[in-house]
Amino acid sequence: MSKILFATATHDYAILSQNLGASEVLKTHPLAILHGFESVPAAYNSLIASAFDWVVFVHHDVFLPPDFEASLRATLAVAAPDWAILGVAGVNLENGVRTMHGNLIDRGRPWGRPDDLPCQVRTLDEVILIVRGTYRWERAFLQFDPRFPFDFYGADLCMQAEARGLRCMAIHAPIVHNSTRPFGGRTAAFYEAEEAFRKKWYNELPVATTCALVQDNKRALKIP
């Protein structure tokens, strides 16, 4: 049976205890708690996990229901080698419109739909990112980019995978996301990360993420 490591970056042990820490799956699987880092990429990149087959990077404000592991393992059992990153919330861009693929409760509201899962997507939300331990660590296959301290680091990781000819998949593994961040809440740091993402992946635009449609502003505004 595949060995799974869960990992989270936290600044608030109360939130962790009330959510991820209360998840039944952690009674039988280890959790790496990464604390005191200046950014999420720095925290995740610090982890050494080559002894595990899969690493599940998950936000500290996520509760994993009792059937989460069974749902996850059902996908892992058939995961093809070109599935670089799995997640529970993904996005595609179809005819200029974002399509949401997943099945979770986000801040009390249902998000996505379960009828088309698993589904290939271009980007995944950072709420959960699942990578192969051997790909992520032993081969230095992917690295979280510190240019995206708290936003867009998941979408960036997916774009790295795509550049290597590998796929990202949204899977059926329902979760409950209890974020206190308001819907549509934006900070100056968010817009800075969005601009950094736009510059890094300029030749691949437009790119749809769960929080924004990143596109070439000049083309979008029809500026010569």
Q: What is the CATH number of the domain that holds 185?
A: 3.90.550.10
**Does residue 22 have a pLDDT over 90?**
yes
Total-model pTM? 0.92
Q: What's the rounded mean pLDDT across residues 98-127? A: 92
CB-based contacts of 220: which residues, under 8 Å, 6+ apart? none
Residue 43 token pair? 């925290």
Domain count, the chain: 1
User: What pLDDT, on the 0 to 100 scale, is given for residue 21?
Assistant: 98
Q: How many residues does the chain have?
A: 224
Residue 106 pairs with which residues in a beta bridge? Answer: 109, 177
**Does residue 87 have a pLDDT over 70?**
yes
Residue 128 pairs with which residues in a beta bridge? Answer: 58
Reported as a single tens digit per residue, the pLDDT across 35-79 is 999 999 999 999 877 789 899 999 999 999 999 999 999 998 888
User: What pLDDT, on the 0 to 100 scale, is given for residue 177?
Assistant: 97
Reported as a single tens digit per residue, the pLDDT across 133-162 is 865 544 546 889 999 999 999 999 999 999
CA trace torsion 151, 4, 118, 131 (10° rounding): 50
Q: Which residue has the higher pLDDT, 145 or 132?
A: 145
Q: What's the rounded mean pLDDT across residues 122-137? A: 84
Distance between CA 121 and CA 169 in Å, rounded? 6
Query: CA nearest 44: which of 208, 178, 195, 156?
Result: 156
DSSP string, the chain: ---EEEEEEES-HHHHHHTGGG-GGGGTS-EEEEES-SSHHHHHHT---TT-SEEEEE-TTEE--TTHHHHHHHHHTT--TTEEEEESEEEEEETTEEEEEEEEEETTEEEEESTT-SEEESEE-TTEEEEEHIIIIIT------TT-SSSSHHHHHHHHHHHTT-EEEE-----EE---SPTT---HHHHHHHHHHHHHTGGG--EE-SS-EE--HHHHTT--
User: What pLDDT, on the 0 to 100 scale, is given for residue 142?
Assistant: 83
Reported as a single tens digit per residue, the pLDDT across 167-224 is 999 999 999 999 877 656 688 999 999 999 999 999 999 999 999 999 997 654 443 3
User: Among 25-39, 82-96, 205-219, which stretch is predicted with the lowest mean pLDDT?
Assistant: 205-219
Which range of residues forms the domain containing residue 185?
Answer: 4-220
